[in-house]
Structure 1
Amino acid sequence: MYPLYCRSVATNVKLLQQLRVTHILNVTEGDSYIHVNTGAEYYVGTGIIYHGIPANDVGYFDLSVYFEEGADIIAQALAYNGDRGKVYVHCQKGYSHSAAIVIAYLMLRHKLDVQATLATVREKREIGPNDGFLYQLCQLNDRVKKD
């Protein structure tokens, strides 16, 4: 994730291409004012592969049903073209939804615990998954420890 306003980066194809982004993971897919209204058709002809997750930034939203899918998408994107893929994971502001999905990816694919993962991501940028997402990440942590 880049320290720019996520919606403006996600809709700036020229910047995404300059950053050599190969994949987009929109963790706030939808067409209301609280979502970022892009889709696969938005990126047609750009060489950027799009994936969307229709999430809302409210504590009662069950983002955990998308943790595995999000982790799979990130892993596939990074492995793209001989490990030269670059994925831009975003939500509206890059603070809650997208951070939770990136944290879930690190926990699932790199076997980091939730505290270490939160600390690592916070060293790179300011994040603040809402309380519901944090609770879901703690539940994921318990599940990952058992595996």
Structure 2
Amino acid sequence: MALRFVAQNVMRLQRLGVTHILNTAEGNSFMHVNTNAEFYAGTGITYHGIKANDTEQFNLSAFFEEGADFIDKALAHANGKGKVYVHCREGYSRSPTMVIAYLMLRHKMDVRVATATVRQKREIGPNDGFLRQLCQLNEKLAKEGKLKTK
């Protein structure tokens, strides 16, 4: 089932205990998921949207810190009981890229470990541009000594 259908099913999200939503495909073209803060108003779910395109040219890395901050806040919600649903249209490229960046930025995982961690949970395929951006992030964090060494 495509992630967009779960994102648009508020009752299911509430049953799953989701407290926060990070939509990495905000917008209203067929390539996006047309939800926003108003869509979740009154549900108790905190929303954050990133208007990202799933193209090699799109600079998703410009949103890595913003996404990681939102995921951090979401997980810390209610004394660490927060649950964040990170999604895009299919859950294949944009959202896994954002989760991999989060694991690198906040859990000091190198790009290979972070990617493998996400792949254990679901099939993913970040586009080549996003993979390049994750590799650039890896180089930057390694240079700054911000990655766990084996």
Asked whether the two chains share a fold, i.e. TM above 0.5, the reply is yes
Separation of aligned partners in 2, 1:34 and 1:120? 26
SS of the residue 1:42 aligns to: helix
- Identify the residue that residue 48 of structure 1 maps to in structure 2: 45
Look up the equivalent residue of 1:54 and give its one-letter code: K
- Identify the residue that residue 130 of structure 1 maps to in structure 2: 127
- Identify the residue that residue 19 of structure 1 maps to in structure 2: 16
- Identify the residue that residue 81 of structure 1 maps to in structure 2: 78
Of residues 101, 106, 113 in structure 1, which corresponds to 2:103?
106
Q: CA deviation at 1:31?
A: 1.3
Q: CA deviation at 1:126?
A: 0.4
Separation of aligned partners in 1, 2:35 and 2:9? 11
Separation of aligned partners in 2, 1:128 and 1:114? 14
Of residues 84, 90, 95 in structure 2, which corresponds to 1:93?
90
Give the count of matched residue pairs. 144
Flag as ranges the 4+ runs of structure 1 deviating above 2 A.
none
Aligned sequence identity (%) = 65
Look up the equivalent residue of 2:102 and give its one-letter code: Y
Q: CA deviation at 1:38?
A: 0.3
Of residues 44, 68, 84 in structure 2, which corresponds to 1:71?
68
SS of the residue 2:75 aligns to: helix
Separation of aligned partners in 2, 1:145 and 1:12? 40
Deviations 1:7-46 (A, max 9, x none): 1000000000000000000000011111100000000110
Look up the equivalent residue of 2:121 and give its one-letter code: K
Q: CA RMSD in A?
A: 0.6
Q: CA deviation at 1:82?
A: 0.4
TM-score (norm 1): 0.96
- Structure 1 unaligned segments of length 5 or more: list them: none
- Identify the residue that residue 5 of structure 1 maps to in structure 2: 2
- Identify the residue that residue 147 of structure 2 maps to in structure 1: none
Look up the equivalent residue of 2:43 and give its one-letter code: T
